Amino acid sequence: MKKIIKFEKNDCNPCTMVSDLLDKKGVEYERINPFDNPEIAVKYRVRSVPTVILFEENEEIKRTIGFKPEEINEIISMM
């Protein structure tokens, strides 16, 4: 089973742009604020937002940092 986790901050414009793209494509994803959940950010080695990670069977298979529509669309196509 594949899933997407998006690390974001509420006042981050690129984070909103990533959410808009994922929402427009109808993709389900989990949102995590790394500042509110530092232990999760450390676990997944997240150092900046937005970070989008695709997992399959709890193993990371693709990651993108920032608003990069081509890479986000690649992640979506891998779902």
63 is an active site residue: no
Q: Which of 12, 17, 21, 76 is catalytic?
A: 12
**DSSP secondary structure, the chain, as one string:** -EEEEEE--TT-HHHHHHHHHHHHTT---EEE-TTT-HHHHHHTT--SSSEEEEEETTEEEEEEES--HHHHHHHHHT-
12 is an active site residue: yes
Token pair in block for residue 21? 């793209």
Q: Which of 5, 7, 8, 15 is catalytic?
A: 15
Return the active site residues: 12, 15
